[in-house]
Amino acid sequence: MSTTGANADPLAALGSLPGVAESVESVRKAVDRVYGHRIMRRRSTEITAEAALRGARGSAALSGADWALEEVRRRTDFSGDAEARVMGAALRLSAEAGQLLSIWRQSPLRVLARLHLVAAASNGDEVGRPRQAGEPVDEPLIELPLPHAQEVSGRLEGLADLIITGTSASALVTAAVVHGELLALRPFVSHNGLVARAAERIVLIGSGLDPKAICPAEVGHAELGRAAYLEALDGYVSGTPEGMAAWIAHCGRAIELGARESTAVCEALQRGAA
């Protein structure tokens, strides 16, 4: 996404794209429904914990580790094969995201570096910083052309400036752009998808749309499927109004599905308490 030009708030301009206002309203209603559930008054901490677990499972599925939820609950060691390490990274990011809210608005690049450090769980020189020219990127499920390191640096700075300056754009639009930009840039040598989805979660929490983190968009992205996810990402990367609107709508639908998931958890807890 271009972050330069006469428009001082390019994120807000995306709100006028066809269908975006409808997506924003639909997301708000879905989130309000789950927050209004009677079980939330007494057991919101449990809902938050369950949403974090399910969100991590969904994010890992999109990065190639599509495990059953009960398998994620059962396992304690995530240091084995590649899929286990992906799942472990997703779980660590899910736990970390809520701890970084106070830093995000002041220093989003610092938060992104921290997220990569947590995901990679390594002390390598390439961890926790944007990739440099010539460094390979391990992101096999995203086959888009890889921007040059210099372009990555400039676009990250532009994205950070928008977040620090603030925007009148909705939480959905802001979260979708942060998510899409990080996927398009793949600024780190690994774990970019996991980091992008964790950053989306941070925006949704910090914006006040989902302050208790009970509407895991990652669940919805996984439910909609990897093919639809990548197709919508193609729209974002195209930069066309239609493509951008389609990506924002896709992210909106994912949040709605995350809210539906937590509503089902609320219903199950309510039945158990009856």
Domains and CATH numbers, the chain: 11-272 (1.10.3290.10)
As given in the structure block, the two tokens for residue 143 are 């086959």
Per-residue pLDDT of the chain (274 residues; tens, 9 = 90+): 644 444 578 899 999 999 999 999 999 999 999 999 999 989 999 999 999 999 999 999 999 999 999 999 999 899 889 999 999 999 999 999 989 999 999 999 999 999 999 999 988 899 999 999 999 999 988 999 999 999 999 999 999 999 999 999 999 999 999 999 999 999 999 999 999 999 999 999 999 999 999 999 999 999 999 999 999 999 999 999 999 999 999 999 999 999 999 999 999 999 886 4
Given a contact cutoff of 8 angstroms between Cβ atoms, the answer to whether 98 and 213 are in contact is yes
Given a contact cutoff of 8 angstroms between Cβ atoms, the answer to whether 153 and 138 are in contact is no
Given a contact cutoff of 8 angstroms between Cβ atoms, the answer to whether 173 and 15 are in contact is yes
Per DSSP, 21 falls in state H
The pTM for the full model equals 0.95
Closest by alpha carbon to 163, among 100, 247, 251? 100
CA atoms within 13 A on the CB side of 268: 9
Using only C-alpha atoms, the chain has a radius of gyration, in whole angstroms, of 18
